[in-house]
Amino acid sequence: MHDKVDTVTAIPPAAGWTRALPRHVGIIMDGNGRWAAARGLPRMEGHRRGVESVRRSVRAALEIGISYLTIYSFSTENWSRPPQEVSFLMGLLKRFIRNDLADLHANGVRVRVIGSREGLEPEITSLLSEAEALTRNNGRLTLVVAFNYGGRQEIAEAARRLATRAVAGEIDPASISPEAIRAELDTAGMPDPDLIIRTSGEQRISNFLLWQAAYAEFVFLPLHWPDFDRAAFETALDAYAGRDRRFGGLRVDAEKTGS
């Protein structure tokens, strides 16, 4: 059971920011290959430029005042890509941690990694653990890296753990509630995402935070991930600020007007 609770508190929005801000933003970073193809460049160059967009996004989240930023860096389905590309992506992750961890730590970023570590290279698991250990007490921004992650797999693992405890007589099956499942997810202790952004124009969730995104707002941007910058981030935040979030209920004024 995941009993560790995140105690990071939201910080005030950046000076001059008057719009409603999401506490937790998730990003499905899509379109690296298409960005490269449109420019006659190899796919690997698209992935490399995508890392620069990650840096810009983290910087923007810090400046704007987002408390949690979850990036979909590598899905469980991505293993089906050509071995050369997978190897390149693993190398990018290693370089990102080695090159950026000190800067993230200095800026108060807490790194948290979700997803399965089973079968990963020992060097990668070591780097992920190092990043989490070094930054665990930071509270300005929690950067959640969804690596070797899949929403269906996450839910299945949570159900399996609860079933094991029920068979052992530790819990009553009748007591299993949405809250009990949530406590077993990789994101236990974190707020659900308020906003999920996907680049490249595709309009699907692709196995990303399936349980957690039940009431998230979605913004699909037509640009590819290497082109994502502060302006694109603010475009998504503007769209979020204009949404009417009722979580299945009604606003007081809507009840009075019958709308």
Q: What is the pLDDT of residues 200-255, one digit of tens each?
A: 999 999 999 999 999 999 999 999 999 999 999 999 999 999 988 776 665 545 44
For residues 142-164, average pLDDT:
97
pLDDT of residue 248: 64
pLDDT of residue 11: 41
Cα–Cα distance for residue pair 140/134, rounded to 1 Å: 14
207 is catalytic: no
The residue extents of the domains of the chain are 24-151+193-240
Catalytic residue among 6, 78, 192, 227: 78
pLDDT of residue 245: 73
Backbone angles phi, psi at 20, to 5 degrees: -65, 130
Cα–Cα distance for residue pair 132/143, rounded to 1 Å: 10
pLDDT tens digit sequence for 43-93: 999 999 999 999 999 999 999 999 999 999 999 999 999 999 999 999 999
Q: Across the beta sheet with 109-114, what order do the strands follow?
A: 109-114, 141-149, 68-75, 24-28, 195-198, 217-220
pTM of the model: 0.88
Q: Which two tokens stand for residue 193?
A: 């995402």
pLDDT of residue 244: 81
The closest alpha carbon to 35, from 27, 45, 25, 26, belongs to 45
78 is catalytic: yes
pLDDT of residue 254: 45
In this structure, are residues 29 and 78 in contact, taking their beta carbons and an 8 Å threshold? no
**What CATH number belongs to 24-151+193-240?**
3.40.1180.10
Catalytic residue among 3, 6, 30, 32: 30
Q: Measured on CA atoms in the order 223, 225, 227, 230, is the torsion positive or negative? A: positive
pLDDT of residue 7: 36
